[in-house]
Structures are given as structure tokens and as C-alpha cells.
Amino acid sequence: MIEFAVCLPVFLLITFATLETCRMIYLRQSLKLAAYECARLGILPEITPASLQDQCDVILLGRGIENYTLSHTPSDLSALEFGNLLVTTVEAPAAENALMGSWLYGGQTVSESVTIMAEY
């Protein structure tokens, strides 16, 4: 019983820390996917920022990611010409997307960005 009482908290700590780390990896990969898909869509002619936000919503809401923000540079997508770079950035707070609160990752914000060259 003493061994069990000593080992159980350590085992649970390792288990919960592993689950939280896996969730943060999932969050980071989801943000990267959304940033990439929005960048690919953003270089198309006549695309609007609302269309980019819709694409981001479809990807991230479908994956259960909350309170994210999408930004892109340049902000005027119609000014994007052949050879120009488009940078899309997606950010989400780690605490609001964690499985067990913010005990491991605190107030950190996870951010991913993608840079793509306009081809059209």
C-alpha cells in the first residue's frame, strides 16, 4: 500500500503531463495546417479576408480549437501581385485549448505562420 501511495501521484503526474503535451502538439499542428491552407487560398485572385477567415473557421472549429486569431500580411489581398509574399499567422491561447486547464502551459500563446509567394 505504501508503494502504491507513493507511486500513484508520480504516475498520474506523468500521465497528465503527457496528455497535455500531446494536446499542445495537436494544437500547434492544427494552427500550422490552418495557416498553410489560408496562405494557399490567399494567393488566389479576387480572394477576400472574409474568405480566409471562413477557411480558418472550417479547419479550426472542426478540430475543436477555440479563440484563435488569423492575420495576414499584406492586409490588402487585392494588392498582392506575382512574386509578392503573403504571410498568414494563426494564434491561439494554450490555456483555453488545453485538456486540463492551464497548469502546465500557463498563459502561453501558440502561434504558427506560413509564407507563400503569389503565383497568379
Note the pLDDT tens digit of each residue in 34-74: 999 999 999 988 888 999 999 999 999 999 999 999 999 99
**pLDDT at residue number 95:** 87
**pLDDT at residue number 71:** 95
Whole-structure pTM value: 0.88
**pLDDT at residue number 100:** 80
**pLDDT at residue number 38:** 94
Q: Where are the domains of the chain?
A: 2-117
**pLDDT at residue number 69:** 95
Burial class (CB in 10 A: 0-12, 13-18, 19+), 10: exposed
Confidence of residue 120 (pLDDT cuts 50, 70, 90): low
Note the pLDDT tens digit of each residue in 85-114: 999 999 999 988 888 876 777 788 999 999
Domain 2-117 has CATH 3.30.1300: yes
**pLDDT at residue number 22:** 92
